[in-house]
Structure 1
Amino acid sequence: MLTKCHKAYIYTVCTSQLHRGIQLLEHEEILFNYYEKVNIQEAAITKGNLTLEALEKDMRDLELKINEEKREIDLKKKDILLKRKLEEEITVLQIELSEARDKTLEGVERKVDYKELKGKDPSTAELVKKIEQLEVNLAERERQLLEKELLVDQVTRLSKPLSEQAENCQEERLSLAKKLNELRTNIINTNHRMMAVSAELSMKQAAALYLQQQIKEKELQMDKCQRRLEQGLSPYPDIEEEWRRMLRDKKRRQRDKEEKERLAEEEWRQLPNGEYTTAEARPNAYIPLNAPLPLPKPYGAQAPFKPSQPGANMRHFRKPTLKPLEI
């Protein structure tokens, strides 16, 4: 037959097992929520990686376009330098032509004594032909100059939107770099949060495994107790000894409580006149033992000194060496 103590113990064990099972279900639900959060974070990280790859591809394309525009601008600058060089040559030729014309006119109109030079002078037809040739060359140079001016105007007109586009691309590149930094910061923060969640998840898993192990141990203990109850024995081998020990402790605490109450009552002493006091009784240390009348000596406040017994620390002191007295 089971006693009330055995039944109470079995009820306590069953209640604790039920409570542990409820806690385990709650931990499993929390674990499932953590798994869902981890999946959501992984999807967000995947989406961020795809966006980051697309932005990097756009940045590479823009960099290629910018390099191409820079190359074209360099070519146009070289053409402009060539045009300036040609303009300078045309100016020099025009100056030389004007000087040649002036000298020719001066030579024709001047009527002074001259010294006949030896050699063959060109005829008027040859001079006219040479002048016509120089005019043709001048017209050709002017035509080339106009072509270069048109080319420079066209290059300037084409390079202006390209330069504006390059400036806009630089602003877009700056904005894309800022977005990329923000995405990287978000990815780093997400990784940190995932690491924290993973660590917390590991702790929860360890706690859940520990609780499962305890539940299995308690189930084995319950099976063992059930088999012992079916055999007519106590559910636990040491439960009877533990119960006795609890009774002994209870009795000992009761005795200690009664002893304290008795000592508290003894602190109050009844005087011969019927009053109670907590003062200590008069000591009889100074009552002579061999005196015919055992009365205490009236030492008053100056009682004789009684040295205490030497302690264990006296072994650390060296005995003094007595010097002989010289008389």
Structure 2
Amino acid sequence: MPTENRSSNTEMVSTPFQREDRYIVIKRSDLDKLHPSYKGNFLLELNCISAQMPSRECLVIESDWPEYKPAWAAIEARVTGKPAPQPHPEPIAWMVGTAFWWTKEEAERDAAATGLPIVGLGPMPTRQDEPAWFMTEGGVSAMHAKAKAMSDQQGLDTSSYCVPLYTHADAGEVERLQGLLEAYMNAEAEKGIELVKLRTERKRMDEALVACSNERDELRKANTELEDQVSSDFKVIDDLRAQQAERGALLREALEFIDDGVGRSDAEWRLIKKLRAALSPDGAASATDEPYQGIPGTSFQRLNALANQGE
């Protein structure tokens, strides 16, 4: 741990200030992160060593604390004899956006509600830039610089607002804001990387969606063609059924013409049985079919002809 190059006196020296590494400091929270076996052995050895060392009281200031740089500046001023830089005076008021607050607590509540940073205001005679606000001598009231300028243009009396107030930020606040800015920039960079990833993923999904849409159109086209084919097949079936009905009617008419119960030849009888089987619902001959019992070689037309001839 570095410290000053003078140990205990306040003697003024002209040598350049140089930080020295004099102390070994271990933070307890860092020890808690060690493996239990390492931590146990280390603490045992440390206790043994501490028992043989003189006891000292030290103030440890970490480098990320706002007191770190002022402390080093004070030590350097004591060692070198140079005056330490004086910190800015404490603000007497605070501004959040364009809102003016007399107490820091009110400003902090406003900043928490609005998400805007707090800017301290105070009298700084050495400042050459334009003040942000003007305050009365007694600090009873304050007026924004823009409002004062407008009032002056309108001829209103603003002479009581004679104490200029400037924006004020100490070194710790600047470092804090710089840290916030760096964190914000890192976050924005990560968001940019994530945005590129999201755009790439969206492009991939868009391409997949186009492919799905094309496949859907192809399926719709194939389905339409299939429906047309099915409709055409059903029309063919209907036509075949109509033709079958016409042929059935023709067969029934022929069967009624020749199947009159009068004697038939064997060939005619076989034809009659085939017609009956074809017209039967199950495609087989009727159960009442039996061998022909009529007069062989005769027919209804022949008997009619014989009757007409007087035979």
Tell which structure's C-alpha radius of gyration is larger. Answer: 1
Q: Relative CO higher for 1 or 2, CA cutoff 8 Å, sep ≥ 6? A: 1
TM over 0.5: no
- Would you tell me which structure has more strand in proportion to its own residues? 2
Q: What TM-score comes out, normalization by structure 1 length?
A: 0.28
